[in-house]
Amino acid sequence: MGDCPLQVKELEKSFKKKLGLSSFRAVDSISFQLYPGEILGFLGPNGAGKTTTIKCVLGLLKPSAGKVSLWGSHPAAPEVRRRIGYVPENPDYDDLFTPLEFMTMFSSMRRLDMSREQMFVILDRVGLSKWENVRIRSFSKGMKQRVSLALALQSKPELLIMDEPTGGLDPVARKEFRDIILEENQRGVSIFLSSHLLSEVETICDRAVILSEGKKVVEGRLEDLMRTEDHYRITYRVSDEQEELEIHAALLQKTIDDLRVKGYGIISVNPLYRSLEEVFLSATSGVGR
Amino acid sequence: MKPVITFALMTLRNLLRRRTIWGICIVILIALFGIGQIPSYGVSNEGRFILDFGLFGLEIGALLLAIGLASNIYPRDREQKTVMPIIAVPLSRGQYLMGRFIGAAIVEAAAMIVGCIGLMVILLMNGHAVPADMFPATLLLLIEGWFLLAVVFFFSFWTSPPLNAPLTVLLFIVSQLSVSGFIKLFPQAPGLMRALRLLLPHMDVFHIKDPIAHGMNIPGLYFLLAIFYGLAYMAFMLSVALVVFRSRDLK
């Protein structure tokens, strides 16, 4: 599994409650992996354990049990960390610095040999070209997200870990972020994306993992998750007009036979697709903390 | 080492851009100005008084600076979550601690140098000679300040800033006590208190203002041993702080 950018195996994380008399299990034995070059959506309601999992992946939290490995190595290994870009949820960088100062310091801390021009290119790419010398103190949440994306892209990462990256962005900026994510993915970057925006995940992700109450409830390719097993759409021709019929799988063959008997031409028979929101709601239904 | 130095410089800039440090420097300068007024009270041996009070002011300044500089660094990083992207990607926890410590130590050193120069100017303005031992004495106070910085960092990993300051001051006071003075705190267990006193730092080794003010000669070996002791204890405190920091979850 050395080629697998991220592998999570039987991960558990518990936190002690006040006084340490009892504990709360935030992540309960979850396993999944991110394959090279794919975009994996990481979904779940508030408190499902997404951010806790991401922090375990980044080595910010120590797992109570289970294992996290990045390219087969421990997340804290320096050679592994160099290959990662991280976009945190609600980034709140030291507000006394400017984006350019941050880029300079982070590139030095990462031992990158970057010219100012290269930094300008990245800042321009994330939409901060006019703000490079302005202190972050005056930035909106969305602009801080842009700083954090610029810092994540700086090292040309092979794995981007993004925790609600578009949370504070307006629709235009969200589209710009999405485009950058897709461009990076086309470059071969594997992306682990936690998001509440199901439409976003539906648009850009290859697979999804859905958590609920700390447990993994769904994992699979989006196409497979959204395809219903029990309902089909039949498209057929009546005279010169095209009509559609949605029916249960049990009645599929009988309906096709009936339509043929009536002389209607069958154009196509396709499984019905649900929206990701429907998949999400059915997977997490009845859940409440 | 490059990541640590870069992060230390980042810390240095951060501290200089915050106003706390300038507030502390103003307090030190006001204290020095106050010491400069001693001659107007017609005190005998005024040179000795100025030196004595001046070095005492620097000692307290080192303590206040250590608390003012370091007690809020990690809690603020944690509260504002600025520590997450730093530790998640470019730096290890050890590099983070060293970078923050070195940055604060540079500011502490700069403030002590300014304080020492200020004291020197006051002595000269009042027509007194500057004893050569004043510089190594200030160096020892700086070593003490760095040690206190390490203590403040250690406390900041497991207490809140309001608790950090009194704990550091308590350690500062306790570590000035002699063995007999320490035993008096709990006379029922003299053996235990003696052992405890041996383990706790002996900050009194850094305070040589009285012998200097009285014109006594301090052997060079004493300075070297005191510096070695301070740096070794500081390294020990930073190691313990790192062990605590590594065991912490960054929620």
Q: Give the span between the Cα atoms of A153 and A156, in whole angstroms.
A: 5
For chain A, how far is it from start to end, CA to CA, in angstroms? Answer: 35
ipTM computed for the complex = 0.75
Q: Which of B9, B13, B18, B84 to mutate to test the interface with A (most CBs of A within 10 A)?
A: B84
Structure tokens given for B158 = 């497991």
Between A170-174, A200-204, B20-24, B182-186, the lowest mean confidence (pLDDT) is in B20-24
A20 vs B180 pLDDT, higher one = B180
Helices marked H in chain A: 50-57, 78-81, 99-109, 116-125, 141-153, 171-186, 198-204, 222-226, 252-261, 276-284
Are B50 and B128 within 8 A, CB to CB? yes
Cα of B10 to nearest chain A Cα, Å: 7
Q: Are strands A23-34 and A6-16 parallel, antiparallel or unpaired?
A: antiparallel
Contact between chains at A62 and B249 (C-beta distance less than 8 A): yes
Q: Which residues contact A91 (CB under 8 A, 6 or more apart)?
A: A144, A145, A147, A148, B81, B85
Which of A26-30, A285-289, B179-183, B185-189 has the largest mean confidence?
Answer: A26-30
Which of A90, A111, A151 is nearest residue B2 as measured by Cβ atoms?
A111
Which of A183-187, A230-234, B132-136 has the largest mean confidence?
Answer: A183-187
A78 touches chain B (CB under 8 A): yes
> Residue B239's domain spans which residues?
2-247
Cα of B226 to nearest chain A Cα, Å: 34
* Exposed/middle/buried for residue B127 (C-beta within 10 Å: 0-12, 13-18, 19+): exposed
Q: What is the pLDDT of residue A129?
A: 84
Overall average pLDDT of the A31-41 stretch: 93
Are B240 and B153 within 8 A, CB to CB? no
Cα of B228 to nearest chain A Cα, Å: 30
Q: What is the pLDDT of residue A19?
A: 67
Between A86-100, B21-35, B132-146, the lowest mean confidence (pLDDT) is in B21-35
Contact between chains at A60 and B84 (C-beta distance less than 8 A): yes
212-271 in chain A: CB under 8 A from chain B: none
Confidence of residue A289 (pLDDT cuts 50, 70, 90): very low
Cα of B82 to nearest chain A Cα, Å: 5
Q: What is the pLDDT of residue B142?
A: 93
Average pLDDT, chain B: 85
Contact between chains at B3 and A108 (C-beta distance less than 8 A): yes
Dihedral class, residue B90 (left if φ above 0, else alpha if ψ from -120 to 50, else beta)? alpha
A50 touches chain B (CB under 8 A): no
B34 touches chain A (CB under 8 A): no
Is the pLDDT score of B187 beyond 60?
yes
* Exposed/middle/buried for residue B221 (C-beta within 10 Å: 0-12, 13-18, 19+): exposed
Is the pLDDT score of A288 beyond 60?
no
Contact between chains at A60 and B6 (C-beta distance less than 8 A): no
Name the fold adopted by A1-83+157-229+274-289: Rossmann fold (3.40.50)
- Minimum CA–CA partner of A58 in chain B: B88
Q: Are strands A227-238 and A6-16 parallel, antiparallel or unpaired?
A: unpaired
Number of domains in chain B: 1
Q: What is the pLDDT of residue A287?
A: 46
A59 touches chain B (CB under 8 A): yes
Q: Give the span between the Cα atoms of B222 and B199, in whole angstroms.
A: 20
Q: What is the pLDDT of residue B44?
A: 65
86-115 in chain B: CB under 8 A from chain A: 87-92
Confidence of residue A150 (pLDDT cuts 50, 70, 90): very high
Is the pLDDT score of A185 beyond 80?
yes
Is the pLDDT score of A152 beyond 70?
yes
Q: Which 3 state secondary structure label does DSSP give A25?
A: strand
Q: Which of A64, A105, A144, A163 to mutate to test the interface with B (most CBs of B within 10 A)?
A: A105
pLDDT digits (tens, 9 = 90+) for A47-80: 888 989 999 998 888 899 999 999 988 888 888 8
Locate the domains of chain A by residue range: 1-83+157-229+274-289, 94-151, 230-273
Question: Among residues A103, A208, A102, A125, which one has the least CA distance to residue A173?
Answer: A125
Is the pLDDT score of A33 beyond 90?
yes
Which of A90, A109, A152 is nearest residue B3 as measured by Cβ atoms?
A109
Cα of A140 to nearest chain B Cα, Å: 15
Overall average pLDDT of the B22-40 stretch: 75
Overall average pLDDT of the B72-91 stretch: 82
B80 touches chain A (CB under 8 A): yes
Number of Cβ atoms within 10 Å of the Cβ of B136: 18
Percent of chain A surpassing pLDDT 70: 97
Enter the pTM of the model.
0.82
Are A30 and A53 within 8 A, CB to CB? yes
A85 touches chain B (CB under 8 A): yes
Are A61 and A13 within 8 A, CB to CB? yes
